[in-house]
Structure 1
Amino acid sequence: MHAPSAGEIVAANSNHWRKIINLLAKVASPQEDDWRRFRDSDLFEHTALCFEPALKEEGCWHWIAGQANLQRFVSLDHHAAVLPEDAEIAVDGARRLLLSPYPDYRQLSNQRVARIREALAQAGFYGGVAF
């Protein structure tokens, strides 16, 4: 399957999707300051957006975001630990899960993205498989 271009998705949709894709790139980019290049050239080579309430593959990370979406995974067996400085974000490194508020700038400020990146780095995300 051909990986879509972030630019094509944004152009075909709305500003809403631009925000989601930018936040996905900010979190997933191996180099924090290089997220724009990562978004435009590599994002969908290493990540995917899924809309089914099930984890897709073993061995890859899953980011489940937004209160309504989190409810669809209520029966998911995990041990996600809430970040000490932010009770709305949790990471389960063993199960490779990130649980967070909806990916919107009002919900995920740059400060929150930095906290997520730090937690993912501690869990080995940036040396392993992306979302």
Structure 2
Amino acid sequence: MLRPDYLGASRPRLILYLPHRPDGLMQLLDAPTAQVLVTANSNHWRKIVTLLAKIGSPVADDWRRFRDEDLFRQTALCFAPRLSGIPTWHWIGGRDNLQRFEGLHHRARPFADSPDVSIDPDKRLLLTPYPDYRQLSNALVNHIRSALDSCGFYGN
């Protein structure tokens, strides 16, 4: 059986690349929702979709509604170690995950106060630690949102 590499919008504003797939992925393909994904998996996936919503939501304070209603209409998860050909923002979560992307050339510049987070506006590439609350605090999420906003992410 083929293992799908992609879950979410066909034209997402943001794709989060992860090294592993959630359980029940085949059942999610037709109508993905954060609730179904979390129910079929663990708290670990709740953290991932929450952080994706906090960063991807057009309105910062609306992330809960965005997660529950619009997450997979406007964002996607990708499990393949290559950037999709979709013209969008690409978020690679985790240093080990980034190493899977052989030949990925970028000029991502690290944040001065958070060197584990980098952005390459030309390639529309966001590099962060693995999406977990311990590594991506609310303060760091706000900093990432500010950097993406300055690149026009939320204005498109």
Which TM class, normalised by the smaller chain length? over 0.9
Q: Tell me the distance in 2 between the aligned counterparts of 1:77 and 1:120.
A: 20
Q: Structure 2-normalised TM-score?
A: 0.78
Amino acid at match of 1:37: R
1:36 CA displacement: 0.2
Which of 104, 111, 127 does residue 155 from structure 2 map onto? 127
| Higher mean C-alpha deviation, range 26-35 or range 53-62 | 53-62
What are the residue-to-residue correspondences of 1:40-119 with 2, within 5 Å?
Answer: 40-119=68-147
What 5-or-longer segments of structure 2 have no aligned partner?
A: 1-28
1:112 CA displacement: 0.7
1:85 CA displacement: 1.7
CA distances 1:80-100 after superposition (whole Å, capped 9, x unpaired): 111122100001111010000
Which of 17, 20, 25 does residue 53 from structure 2 map onto? 25
What 5-or-longer segments of structure 1 have no aligned partner?
A: none
SS in 1 for 2:91: strand
1:127 CA displacement: 2.0
Runs of 4+ in 1 over 2 A off after TM superposition: none
Residues 2 and 88 from structure 1, CA distance in 2 versus in 1: closer, same or farther, beyond 3 angstroms?
same
Count of residue correspondences: 128
Amino acid at match of 2:74: H
